[in-house]
Amino acid sequence: MRIVYGMNPVRELLRAGGEGIAELWLAEGGSRGAAFAELERLGRASRAKLRTAPRQKLDRLAGTDRHQGVVAVVADFAYADLDDLVTAAAASGRPPLLVVLDGVEDPHNLGAIIRSAHALGAHGIVIPKDRAVGVTPAVAKASAGAVERTRIARVTNVAQAIEKLKQAGVWSVALAMDGDRPLGKVDLKGPTALVLGSEGEGIRPLVRRTCDLSASIPMSGELDSLSVSASAAIGLYEAARQRGT
């Protein structure tokens, strides 16, 4: 079982159908308001067991006091297969747009990337099983619920996953400070996977060599780098801009 906490993440989970929710915990006392009433209604519709408890109990369930008085106990996250992401893109009638992450470890970065991917029309995200964060409660909170509406594939080998995407006709673009050309000069209208590396080391050499090309994000400020979540958002926006979505 896993924990999802926070008003928006739990609401989106329930709006998506509430599949797998076993219990919905709401904090006792205080002004509950319309938002809590909506969660109760959605919780009953999903047939989750509704519980109320002091905030201290919810603190222990969530492992944090940043739950906003809402905690859901849910079945483990269902990761997609890599093929599912390409199939979903084909069903959408749009060229695939994927995000491949090579070792992102910060749950807030992963959550922010998932949120951007959902907002900007990506068909899914690929993450490695080892040396990287998976879908955790903190990731779900940082994604503002987008994790419940985004296909996420977890793979053993990122380079092999990129090769498999190539076989499906998906062009891979490594985003790096020393990329071969500016991002705006790269055609992202066709089937594309944006590849980004970890917070500290960036994209590993083997993964980068596996990509079809590399691109950089032009910057004019005094800092020479962006966070991986900011880079992903810019890359996804550029793809959406070129596609007219």
**pTM listed for this prediction:** 0.86
Task: Please report, for residues 82, 130, 172, 200, the alpha-carbon distance to residue 106 in angstroms, rounded to integers and kept in the order given.
Answer: 22, 14, 23, 11
DSSP β-ladder status, 70-74 and 49-53? unpaired
- The domain segmentation of the chain, as residue ranges, is 2-74, 82-243
Burial class of residue 237 in the structure, from the number of CB atoms within 10 Å of its CB (0-12 exposed, 13-18 middle, 19+ buried): middle
Give 175-218 pLDDT, tens digit per residue: 999 999 999 999 999 999 999 999 888 999 999 999 999 999 99
How many Å apart are CA 16 and CA 198, to the nearest integer? 30
Closest CA to 100 of 171, 196, 227: 196
φ, ψ for residue 3 (rounded to 5)?
Answer: -115, 135
Domain 82-243 has CATH 1.20.1280.260: no
Question: Is the pLDDT assigned to residue 245 strictly greater than 90?
Answer: no
pLDDT tens digits for range 31-63 = 567 888 888 888 888 888 999 899 999 999 999
Return the CATH fold of 2-74: 60s Ribosomal Protein L30; Chain: A; (3.30.1330)
- The label of the residue with tokens 């066709």 reads 190
Write the pLDDT tens digit of every residue in 233-243: 999 999 999 99
pLDDT for the residue 222: 63
CA distance 6 to 22: 16
Mean pLDDT of the chain: 92
243's CB contacts (< 8 A; 6+ apart) are 94, 95, 97, 121, 188, 189
